Structure formats: C-alpha cells, structure tokens
C-alpha cells in the first residue's frame, strides 16, 4: 500500500512537470492556421522575412483535399516580426507579435488578394494594403501600355498615381498608427522594382519614416527593426537637409480631434499645433506675406479677428514665404498665431489639405472638426457666426 502511494505520488509529480514543460514551451509560440481551397497537393511554405538574413524557410506542408494547414513556430523577439505564406509566386504577408494565433481563409489561385484573416488587426491592415497595392500595380501596367499617351505623359501619369497612393496611405494607414507593424510595412511597399516611399531622399517621406521610427523607439527600443528604421530616417534627414516636421504621435490626443493635425514653429520657435486650439473656432489660413495681395488680405483678417476674437475665434496663419527673416518681420505685428512652413506649399501636410494656391483657408469648429474650406464658404463672417 505504501509502495502504491509512493508510485502515485511520483506519477502525479511527473505529470505536473510535463504539464509545466508543455506550458513553458508554448510561451513564445505563435500559430498560423486555416484553409487554402483549390490548392490540393500544393506545397505551402511559411517563411520569415529576416532583416539580416533575408527570406528564411520556417516550415512547409503539402496541402490535402480540404486545404487545411497549421503552423506553430517560436518567436522570442519582443517586437513585431514579418512572415509570409507562399505557394509558388503567391504570398500572404503577415506580422507576428510573439504569441498570436492567426486564422487565414483563402482560395487558389487568388490567395494573395482574396483571403481573409482573423486574430490580428495588423495582419488585416496588411491585407488591405496588399490589395490596394495590387490595384495600383494593375493601373500602372495599364498606363504603361496605353499608346494614346506619349512616353513622357505615361511617366507623368504613373508618377501621379504613385503619389496619390502614397498620400492616401499616409492618412488612412499610417497617421495615428505610427507604432503599428502595418505602418512599418507600408513604408517599404514597392510597385514593380520601385519603392513607393523614398525614405532616404524625399523630405516628405522622411517626415513619416521619422514618425514611425520615433514611435517604435518608444515601444520597442531594442528591436533590430527599430534600429534599422531609425538609421534610415537619420540618413534621410542628412540627405534632404530640410526641417523634418515632427508628426503628432499622441494617439489619445488625436482621437479627441476630427482634423489631420499639423504643427509648425512660431516666431519664438515653439511648435503650435491645430489640436492645441480645441475649444475655439479656428480659421486656418495658408499664405505668403511676400505675395502682392498679402497686405490687403491681412487688413481684412485683422477686421475679422478684432470683431470675433473675444467671442472665441482664433486665426492660425501658416506662412510659406521662402524668406524666413521677412516672415518674422511681418508676423511680429500680427495679433494672431503666426507659424512658418520652411518647405513651402509642397509641404506634406499642406498637400494632404490639398492647398494648391494662395491664399487658402479652412474653418475648424470648437471640437477640432474641419468644417469647410474657402471655395465652399460664400460668406466668411456668416460661417464664423454659425460656429461661434
């Protein structure tokens, strides 16, 4: 009886050790599972997109009749990493954050663009980015083959397509999501052999790469990808030799506003942001003091300011003058908020606001919601009265 009791105790201890070991071994394991229908007998590969070693095969499986698969792999890095599922040239790109379980449903031969994903918001965002990129590639190929246009016209049209894609990607997928794996992924998308973002030579793109790098540095300071992106952003700042605007990465603050936030330095060098003026009606004005109409315009704005400032109106005037000293000289005598945009009208944020001429203005309500722009405001004073 004593011997039986001892054996039972030993058995229970062994089971507990095995259970502990099983739990411990699964601590850093992620799972990718699902179905790829119509791909019977195809070899499905799970590959890691390693930053230093390139593409590395992790595991593979020959698909059966129902196309089901399940991969389990260890990820001990405490930051997002990128992987992909591949059959021949068709790939599904994924980001993994250590212990996720991701479910994929797809159908061959369109698995790269017609799949669904559950278990990861970042993976679903990457899915949307991949689908948008595929649409861009189809349009680019169609334009390249369109003989109704000259070679130069086709090139210009393709450049406009890529620029429009890039601008919308910044607003829809990177803005306010700087610390996400999908934002990192977006910065390195390519159409053909062309990188959509030139994060080392385009001042606008450097701005966004810098914002993502800063956010990753806060969240994953020891990540190799953080170090890589930080180095790229540093080279970009050196190459462009232009002031890189610091994008607002305060997610909580951004969620409280209904604008695409922007910030520029005032005459004292202090950054002033649109979101700082929540609670006031804001007239956002983009101008150049050196322009012929500037003096007359500022007289008009002064009348507006004097009439409505006490009731809650503020003017946020962005100067795109090429001469910073001249801007400082003029702005010293103006009573409202005057800021300077060194990049001029080609600045990234001004392009997002679609500022194509001077002067352009916008009205923002007390809740920081963009209400309207000048071309849709027949009577500025009535529009201001309605918001006050």
Residue 374 has pLDDT above 80, yes or no: yes
Looking at the chain, list the stretches that DSSP marks H as alpha helix, in order from N- to C-terminal side: 2-25, 121-144, 151-169, 181-187, 203-219, 224-240, 251-255, 294-308, 324-331, 348-352, 380-387
The span from the CA of 353 to the CA of 327, in Å, is 22
**What does the pLDDT look like over 83-139, one tens digit per residue?**
999 999 899 999 998 778 999 999 999 998 889 999 999 999 999 999 999 999 999
**What does the pLDDT look like over 272-317, one tens digit per residue?**
989 899 999 999 999 988 887 888 889 999 999 999 999 999 999 9
Centre a 10 Å sphere on the Cβ of residue 79 and count the other Cβ atoms it contains.
17
The mean per-residue pLDDT over the stretch 343-363 comes to 81
- Mean pLDDT, all residues of the chain: 84
Residues 228, 231, 235: CA angle, nearest 5 degrees:
140
Residue 75 has pLDDT above 90, yes or no: no
Q: Which residue has the higher pLDDT, 238 or 284?
A: 284
Q: Which of 349, 368, 369 is nearest to 360 (CA)?
A: 349
Question: Could you tell me if 327 and 289 are in contact, meaning their C-beta atoms sit under 8 angstroms apart?
Answer: yes
**What confidence tier does 258 reach under pLDDT thresholds 50, 70, 90?**
low
**What does the pLDDT look like over 169-195, one tens digit per residue?**
988 898 878 899 999 999 999 987 788
Question: Could you tell me if 365 and 277 are in contact, meaning their C-beta atoms sit under 8 angstroms apart?
Answer: no
The span from the CA of 139 to the CA of 135, in Å, is 6
**Residue holding tokens 């649109």?**
274
Question: Could you tell me if 240 and 294 are in contact, meaning their C-beta atoms sit under 8 angstroms apart?
Answer: no
Cα–Cα distances (Å) from 356 to 134, 176, 349, 351, in that order, read: 29, 25, 12, 8
Q: What is the pLDDT of residue 175?
A: 81
Q: What is the pLDDT of residue 24?
A: 40
**What does the pLDDT look like over 33-66, one tens digit per residue?**
999 999 999 999 999 998 888 899 999 999 999 9
pLDDT above 90: percentage of residues in the chain:
46
Question: Could you tell me if 187 and 199 are in contact, meaning their C-beta atoms sit under 8 angstroms apart?
Answer: yes
**What confidence tier does 27 reach under pLDDT thresholds 50, 70, 90?**
low
Cα–Cα distances (Å) from 260 to 116, 318, 347, 352, in that order, read: 30, 15, 14, 8
Indicate the range of 14-23, 94-103, 234-243 predicted with least confidence.
14-23
Q: What is the pLDDT of residue 241?
A: 63
Residue 22 has pLDDT above 60, yes or no: no
Residues facing residue 363 across a β-bridge? 283, 372
pTM of the model: 0.62
Q: Which of 167, 170, 148 is nearest to 159 (CA)?
A: 167
- Can you list the domains of the chain with their CATH numbers? 26-118 (2.60.40.180), 134-240 (no CATH), 258-387 (3.40.30.10)
Q: What is the pLDDT of residue 350?
A: 82
The mean per-residue pLDDT over the stretch 25-39 comes to 84
Convert 365-378 to b/e letters by CB count within 10 Å (16 or more is b): beebebbeebeebe
DSSP letter for each residue of 277-313:
GTTSEEEEEEE-TTSTTHHHHHHHHHHHHHHHGGGTE
Q: What is the pLDDT of residue 77?
A: 64
Q: Which of 361, 364, 355 is nearest to 376 (CA)?
A: 361
Q: What is the pLDDT of residue 349?
A: 79
**What confidence tier does 76 reach under pLDDT thresholds 50, 70, 90?**
low
Q: What is the pLDDT of residue 135?
A: 94
């Amino acid at each position: 009886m004593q011997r039986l009791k001892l054996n039972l105790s030993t058995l229970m201890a062994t089971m507990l050790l095995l259970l502990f070991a099983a739990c411990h071994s699964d601590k850093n394991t992620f799972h990718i599972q699902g179905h790829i229908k119509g791909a019977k007998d195809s070899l499905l590969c799970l590959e890691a997109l390693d930053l230093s070693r390139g593409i590395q095969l992790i595991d593979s499986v020959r698909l059966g009749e129902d196309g089901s698969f399940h991969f389990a792999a260890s990820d001990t890095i405490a930051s997002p990493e990128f992987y992909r599922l591949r059959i021949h040239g068709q790939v599904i790109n994924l980001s993994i954050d250590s212990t996720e379980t991701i479910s994929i449903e797809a159908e061959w031969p369109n698995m790269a663009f017609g799949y669904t994903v559950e278990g990861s918001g970042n993976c679903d965002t990457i899915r949307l980015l991949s689908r948008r990129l595929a649409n861009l590639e189809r349009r680019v190929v169609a334009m390249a083959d369109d003989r109704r246009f000259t070679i130069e016209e086709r090139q210009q049209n393709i450049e406009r397509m890529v620029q429009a894609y890039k601008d919308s990607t910044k607003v829809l997928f990177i803005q306010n999501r700087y610390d996400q794996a999908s934002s990192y992924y977006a910065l390195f998308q390519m159409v053909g052999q062309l990188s959509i973002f030139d994060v080392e030579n385009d001042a606008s793109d450097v701005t966004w790469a810098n914002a993502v790098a800063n956010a990753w540095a806060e969240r994953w300071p020891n990540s190799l990808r953080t170090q890589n992106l930080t180095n790229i952003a540093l080279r970009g700042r050196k190459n462009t030799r232009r002031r890189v605007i610091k994008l607002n990465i305060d997610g909580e603050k951004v969620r409280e506003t209904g604008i695409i936030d922007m910030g520029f330095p005032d005459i004292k060098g202090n950054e002033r942001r649109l979101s700082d003026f929540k609670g006031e009606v804001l007239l956002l004005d983009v101008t150049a003091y050196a322009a012929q109409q500037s003096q007359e315009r500022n007289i008009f704005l002064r009348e507006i300011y004097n009439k409505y400032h006490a009731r809650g109106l503020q003017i946020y005037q962005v100067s795109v003058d090429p001469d910073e000293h001249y801007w400082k000289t003029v702005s010293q005598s103006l009573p409202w908020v005057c800021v300077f945009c060194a990049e001029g009208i080609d600045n990234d944020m001004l392009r997002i606001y679609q500022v194509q001429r001077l002067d352009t203005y916008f009205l923002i309500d007390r809740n920081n919601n963009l209400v309207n722009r000048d071309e849709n405001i027949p009577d500025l004073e009535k529009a201001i009265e309605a918001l006050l």
